[in-house]
Amino acid sequence: MLSFFKDYKLFAIVFGAISIVIIALIYNTLNVYQPLPIYQPSMVSTQLVDSTIQYKKKYHKIADFSLVNQNGDTVTQNTYKDKIYVADFFFTTCQTICPIMTGHMAEIQKEIMDDEEVMLLSHSVTPEIDSVAQLKRYATKKGVIDKKWNLVTGDKKEIYKLARKSYLAVKDNGDGGPFDMIHTENFMLIDKKRQIRGFYDGTNAEDIEKLIDDIAILKEEQ
């Protein structure tokens, strides 16, 4: 009888060890690294994409740009060369979703403060209102750190084209002027090759956590 229990105990130990190894292998298999998608216009709601590129399925990148930030400095694609960055569209007088979005962008800023590879970029959709002085007041109020986060204004036509042909992020306002737009809550994650790697709800705290995690994934990839 004692021999039986000794044999059973040995079997249980061996079986337990094998089970742990199998479970670990299954876990690792299920958690294989998955790269972030590279978004193309054809993958995004047509409401957010200019009709001329709605069916584009590859090679989409953020176009060159030249805008002015809260300090009156020119900001171009070269400012973000070899950077991962988070972009959005807002306006300083917005009283609905913008304060939430800006607050969440500030949280991201805090997370990336010491990371030289990552920056932020917020575009005004009402550049006629958001002058450099207005952006500076807003930036000061919201705790914007100049080296990490640019709030930009400029030619409305250029911002419109960036929003709908590059970032795929705003709706066309058919009732307004030719370049009027309705911004959304979207945050876009842009990689070092100027490709869109993620869309996130800038008003949703869980999405912000995912965005921060995805930045880490991109850093490993690039």
Residue 104 annotated in ligand binding: no
CB 128 within 8 A of CB 41: no
Residue 160, Cβ neighbours under 10 Å: how many?
22
> Angle CA(127)–CA(133)–CA(139) in degrees, nearest 5?
90
The Cα–Cα gap between 186 and 166 comes to 13
- Plot region of 60 (φ>0 → left; ψ -120 to 50 → alpha; else → beta): beta
Q: Which residues, in sequence order, are bridge partners of residue 183?
A: 170
The Cα–Cα gap between 222 and 220 comes to 6
Residue 123 annotated in ligand binding: no
Binding residues for Cu cation, as ranges, are 94, 98, 183
> Which residues participate in the annotated binding site?
94, 98, 183
